[in-house]
Amino acid sequence: MTVNVWVPQDAGALALGAEATAQKLLAAAQATGTSIRLRRNGSRGLYWLEPLVEVECAEGRIAYGPVTARDVPSLIEKGLLKGGAHPLRLGPIDQHPWFKSQQRLTFARVGQIDPLELNDYLAQGGFRGLQRALEIGGTATVTEVVESGLRGRGGAAFPTGIKWQTVLKQPPGQRYIACNADEGDSGTFSDRMLMEGDPFSVIEGMIIAGVAVGATQGYIYLRVEYPHAHRTMAAAITAARKAGFLGDRVCGSKHAFDIELRLGAGAYICGEETSMLESLEGRRGEIRVRPPLPAEKGLFGAPTVVNNVVTLATVPVVLAGGAAHYRDFGQAKSRGTLPLQLAGNVRRGGLIERAFGLTVRELLYDYGGGSASGRPIRAVQIGGPLGAYLPESQFDTPLEYEALSAIGAMLGHGGVVAFDDTVDMLEMAKYAMEFCAIESCGKCTPCRIGSVRGAEALGNISRGINPQGNLALVTELCDTMLQASLCGLGGMAPYPVLSAMKHFHEDFRPRAPAN
């Protein structure tokens, strides 16, 4: 009998040695004369347990982890292929408390299926959302997305359905769907996990968007730092085309839709939607002044739906289960589920998808298990390099749009990065300005010059040069950047700086010169 053994092909698992583990498993099984079928999945997002090996047994998929190549011989000896006992045995993976307590809608299949096996996708509800969209038609599909309360998960949190409505209302003509896969925020990896673990869900979401607003062409703008996601996405597009989900007649309907995968070239600013459109058109990623909105005049001047990977991959969930089902998760104006990414200095980092409402503290301690270093967690940054730093006194804030906004923070793309008490918040503030300077597109002065001068002034505080004067200068610069920048890069880079100054004021003092 052949035993199915799953080893993730997710970049995070590979970065921890999953490929060597897989090869060793094949060799070791062969040596014992057991026939195994090595299957590759995405990651379930329990990264401290990667490489996570799963063996299909009568009682379900039995997990072992973290399994390095070195552990394989002893595991095989102890009967891994029969789900045998071993210190690394975690039991049935779907019963693991970290996994079981989640509410996975967008990530329902990630880690469970072979990402490129179309039959796996179909067997687990794939393309049911598209089927429904084709049945109810474009306008009703848009209404469904509006009613679901889904907001853009890329960071701006704009209501997805409203954006689609705007595109739908434009005069007839060419329209586009642009999938923003330029996931550049530090501490975020949900787009990557989806593209590597369930690429058909992204494709299905794009097709539904196309059917809904009458677009026939989609583009995925994928960052070059994600070569694994690129390979998986490219193969999935080819497979979807071959199976008739993409092409002149989507699923035999009158709708045409196809997708082209484009690669970015290492510019953070291209995650900003208008900059991304410029880049897709083959130009420098300099942002465009709004209005007009991309929904009115976007890619190549045509009305364009620009949505993030997670948003688009959630659309099939909304259509398949209905708007009300999705909306019933979450609270107030934060509806549905949120795939949080817990990263940095935590013991148990990874992907946690739950209905909105979990507090920072629950995330850090119940899921994260505290810091990796064992020291107290002093600060967390939420929402990437442009997100505010929160001190311990704010850890009871729920992770949802309005609650974070009320304390001057933002959820962004849902990344949470923890720092222990060795962090130097003056350095982090200076880094925020440096990063802005490196990645600024240069179009507007507050961002281009403000960031350089901000980093300089913060450096001067560290060196003991007129600390009070420079603190005042940074505050003033931040105000200018907040008020006068053209886009979110210069307009939000002050958040980490000002929050660090406010909550960790004791760090903003001269230092002894570095050795």
Partner 1 sequence: MKTTASTQAIGPAQKGEVLAIVARHKDQPGPLIEILHDVQRAFGYVPAEAVPLIAGALNLSRAEVHGVVTFYHYFSGAPQGRSVLRLCRAEACQSMNGRALERHAMKKLGIGFGETTADGGVTLEAVYCLGLCACSPAAMIDEEVHGRVTPERLDELIQGAGAGAGK
Chain residues binding partner 1 by CB under 8 A are: 11-12, 14-16, 45, 47-48, 50, 183-189, 191-192, 224-228, 260, 262-268, 279-285, 300, 341-345, 349-351, 372, 381, 385, 415, 417-420, 423, 428, 431, 435, 438-439, 441
Distance CA 81, CA 52 (A): 14
Task: Identify the CA nearest to 381 among candidates 342, 416, 427, 430.
Answer: 416
Give the residue with the Cβ less far from partner 1, 164 or 435.
435
DSSP code for 210 = H
Distance CA 57, CA 55 (A): 6
Buried b (16+ CB within 10 A) or exposed e, 5-16: bbbbbbbbbbeb
Give the residue with the Cβ less far from partner 1, 127 or 268.
268
Q: How far is the CB of 328 from partner 1 (least distance, A)?
A: 29
Give the residue with the Cβ less far from partner 1, 164 or 389.
389
Sequence-ordered strand ranges (E) for 102-224: 176-181, 217-222
Q: How far is the CB of 29 from partner 1 (least distance, A)?
A: 25
Whether residue 283 contacts residue 127, with contact meaning beta carbons closer than 8 Å, is answered with: no
Give the residue with the Cβ less far from partner 1, 54 or 439.
439
Distance CA 107, CA 310 (A): 9
Q: How far is the CB of 64 from partner 1 (least distance, A)?
A: 18
Whether residue 42 contacts residue 200, with contact meaning beta carbons closer than 8 Å, is answered with: no
Give the residue with the Cβ less far from partner 1, 394 or 440.
440
Give the residue with the Cβ less far from partner 1, 104 or 192.
192
Give the residue with the Cβ less far from partner 1, 120 or 420.
420
Q: How far is the CB of 364 from partner 1 (least distance, A)?
A: 13
Sequence-ordered strand ranges (E) for 350-468: 350-355, 377-382, 389-391, 415-420
Sequence-ordered strand ranges (E) for 383-447: 389-391, 415-420
Q: How far is the CB of 12 from partner 1 (least distance, A)?
A: 5
Distance CA 465, CA 320 (A): 61
**Tokens matching residue 37:** 């079928």
Q: How far is the CB of 508 from partner 1 (least distance, A)?
A: 18
Three-state DSSP class for 418?
A: strand
Q: How far is the CB of 147 from partner 1 (least distance, A)?
A: 32
Whether residue 218 contacts residue 260, with contact meaning beta carbons closer than 8 Å, is answered with: yes
Distance CA 45, CA 106 (A): 13
